[in-house]
Structure 1
Amino acid sequence: MFVLLSIAVLLAISTYFYMRLPKFGKAPSGKRLERMMQSPNYKDGKFQNISYTPNLTVGYSMVGILVDMFFKKHPRRKPVDPIPSVKTDLLNLPKDADVLVWFGHSSYFMQIDGKRFLIDPVFSGNASPLPGTTKSFKGSDVYGVNDFPNIDYLIISHDHYDHLDYETIVALRNKVGKVICGLGVGEHFEHWGYQAEQLIEKDWNESVQLGDNFTINTVPGRHFSGRGFSRNNTLWTSYVLETPVGKIFIGGDSGYDTHFKTIGQRFAPIDLAIMENGQYNVAWQAIHTLPHETLQAAKDLGAKRLFPVHSSKFMLALHEWDEPLKELTKLNNDTLPLVTPMIGEVVDLKNQHQTFKQWWKTVR
């Protein structure tokens, strides 16, 4: 008994000190916390979704999920072959090129009318605070911070590790002009050496004028946040970016709900909807869309084209690694133009008719 108690105490102490490492970020405090508390979306000490959002779907339990994950077989959760990619020279893009380049999962770069945006960059090779536990797929890490020019706007959807990567954010620090994020997320950035004047923190349904006919609008998602044991102490958000070449929906993570239709009623048509489609499970359907819901959400938004992301880099769910792309493509049945580039392949934002190969078919 004494030995077991000693091990438990040692583990608790180790966990306490490990979670004080900078990578875990910092909880909002002071004036930042005061501002958060004034938000209509902040109640009972945390941010709330518009609709009731359970952690797990009725009929599922965390114990059952863990048993399923560790003791049952789930083949092809990660590819055998390397993920194919293209190495685009981002440092020497023509100034008049309006392009998007994807880096796997939910990380992508956009250059539009001379402005440069980087969304949810994760280039450390790991989507977890524990080293080596959620490693990126082979071939998916062909880009690093040194491959990027200066970034005008770094856009963060929420503070989960597969969207807000400490190592990447610190390495990018000298290349970033402004950071746009939800309320409270700026505390992490200041803790990591960013200046307060770089940070633009917004509540849902707010707008920021970026100049030159660019506006970014914060809109709701149905998800959660947190980098430690506390959940929902920062705000998760989606965005609608209005540009001279059209409107782009930056979805982040979200379960399906009525908010997609509300956003569509306000902003439709959306020229390109970038939406999560991957790392889903019926057990956590409230916070991640299933493929048929992703398609419905795109229709609710009035999207002209759909770019499914949140796949092809990390193993965070039990489905086969390529199921999200296969299933969405099958369900879509050419109804809505799909944007499915390889990692690094250039997407021409001015070309609504650009087509893409189903590259995942050649990967085991």
Structure 2
Amino acid sequence: MLNCSSISRAAIKGYPQSAQFDGKRFTNVAPRQPLKFGEYLKMFWDLAFNKPKETVPQQQLPVQPITAETLAAAADNSVFRLGHSSLLLKLKGKYWLTDPVFNLRASPFQWLGPKRFQPAPIALDALPTIEGVILSHDHYDHLDYQTIMQLKDRVRYFLTPLGVGDLLAKWGVAEEKITQLDWWQSTDVGEIHFVATPSQHFSGRGLFDGNKRLWCSWSIITDEFRLFFGGDSGYFTGFKEIGNKYGPFDVACLENGAYDSRWADIHMLPSDTIRAFQDLQGKWLLPIHNAAFDLAFHHWNDPFKQIVALASEQRVKLSLPQIGQGVNILQPQEEAAWW
């Protein structure tokens, strides 16, 4: 168990203690499926120019605005969907954010790149006091510079995988606020136990920093509940190992969106999401990584249609709140189709 201030940047320079670090870059347990250079070029060309128009909703999605009154009235230990993988967690009376992206685009540019379908259900400056930010990896749709800059002086803790904390420090986040962990390392903040658990993904924000920072999922544990936040991942055997160590989970927030068979090793297909949920020994599945950005070729609501059908076949309890809607971790409920 690690104290929140126990890992300094100097202590982990080069990350020699990490089994995931090969001396230059971080690696997955299973190698990624190879694509030929021409296949990569075609895929990126298609992403830029050949998407169906249905990848973006043609009308505004239903959103439940989050207000101070909404949060005060919410049960303790609740999850609010902000869009994509951004969640506002009310845990033990304090508020946490996962992978917060409030910017208009998931991109290094303000004028180019995936654009939000619509604004988040609460403005950054309207957020309550945030105890901590939980980050899964460094991709633009999970780690937004502008958002972090507006949060850095208002947040007590930043929990990250190895290397991501170094990036935050470079951006000006106070080092004493940052805890960066390797897979299976953990830290306690108050009554909450956080474990950086594995995922099958990759990292990088530019042409030259590929896999220089680790990626992870998070197992969040208290004496009242167990919550899994998956970040991004392809399906892999690590889900079963996490489930055996830390399950059963009351709610598993798992990726279900921006998928394609060409990159199924790093982004789960809906059928993979169901398998991962079962491996985690989950009680309720709350799909995330959807309904905010246009990042693949499927229709924007295909993730919902597919996961509903699969969950019905497999008798999986599914919670699909609208953007802005809160869900009680201990008493989630099925929602009427809003998509």
TM-score higher than 0.5 here? yes
Confirm whether residue 88 of structure 1 aligns to residue 66 of structure 2: yes
C-alpha contact (below 8 Å) 1:270/1:301 kept by paired residues: yes
Matched with 2:43 is 65
Quickly say closer, same or farther: Cα 1:263–1:135, change in 2 above 3 A. Answer: same
C-alpha contact (below 8 Å) 2:250/2:330 kept by paired residues: no
Q: 2:326 aligns with which of 343, 346, 349?
A: 346
- Return the alpha-carbon distance in structure 2 between the equivalents of residues 357 and 286 of structure 1: 31
Matches within 5 A, 1:106-121: 106-121=85-100
Tell me the SS of whatever aligns to 2:210.
coil
Instruction: Name which one, 1 or 2, has greater alpha-carbon Rg.
Output: 1
Confirm whether residue 77 of structure 1 aligns to residue 55 of structure 2: yes
Deviations 1:306-333 (A, max 9, x none): 0111011101111111111111111111
Measure how far apart 1:41 and its partner are.
0.9
- Return the alpha-carbon distance in structure 2 between the equivalents of residues 205 and 33 of structure 1: 16
Quickly say closer, same or farther: Cα 1:95–1:256, change in 2 above 3 A. Answer: closer
Q: TM-score with structure 1 length normalisation?
A: 0.85
Deviations 1:215-243 (A, max 9, x none): 11111000001111121111101110002
Q: 2:259 aligns with which of 264, 280, 292?
A: 280
Tell me the SS of whatever aligns to 2:61.
coil
Matches within 5 A, 1:1-364: 31=10, 34=13, 36-54=15-33, 56=35, 61-69=39-47, 72=50, 74-90=52-68, 93-94=72-73, 97-212=76-191, 214-229=192-207, 230-333=209-312, 335-352=315-332, 354-360=333-339
Measure how far apart 1:35 and its partner are.
5.3
**What percentage of aligned pairs have identical amino acids?**
34
Deviations 1:117-175 (A, max 9, x none): 11001001110002232343443433221121111121000010000000111011222
Quickly say closer, same or farther: Cα 1:135–1:63, change in 2 above 3 A. Answer: closer
- The runs of 5 or more residues in structure 2 that have no matched partner are 1-7
- Return the alpha-carbon distance in structure 1 between the equivalents of residues 171 and 319 of structure 2: 34
Tell me the SS of whatever aligns to 2:97.
strand
- Return the alpha-carbon distance in structure 2 between the equivalents of residues 241 and 288 of structure 1: 22
- The runs of 5 or more residues in structure 1 that have no matched partner are 1-28
Quickly say closer, same or farther: Cα 1:55–1:134, change in 2 above 3 A. Answer: farther
Tell me the SS of whatever aligns to 2:153.
helix
For 1:339, the aligned partner's letter is S
Aligned length: 329
Q: TM-score with structure 2 length normalisation?
A: 0.91
Tell me the SS of whatever aligns to 2:220.
strand
Measure how far apart 1:44 and its partner are.
3.8
Measure how far apart 1:350 and its partner are.
2.8
- Return the alpha-carbon distance in structure 1 between the equivalents of residues 282 and 33 of structure 2: 28
Q: CA RMSD in A?
A: 2.1
Measure how far apart 1:116 and its partner are.
1.7
- Return the alpha-carbon distance in structure 1 between the equivalents of residues 65 and 9 of structure 2: 44
- Return the alpha-carbon distance in structure 2 between the equivalents of residues 191 and 266 of structure 1: 34
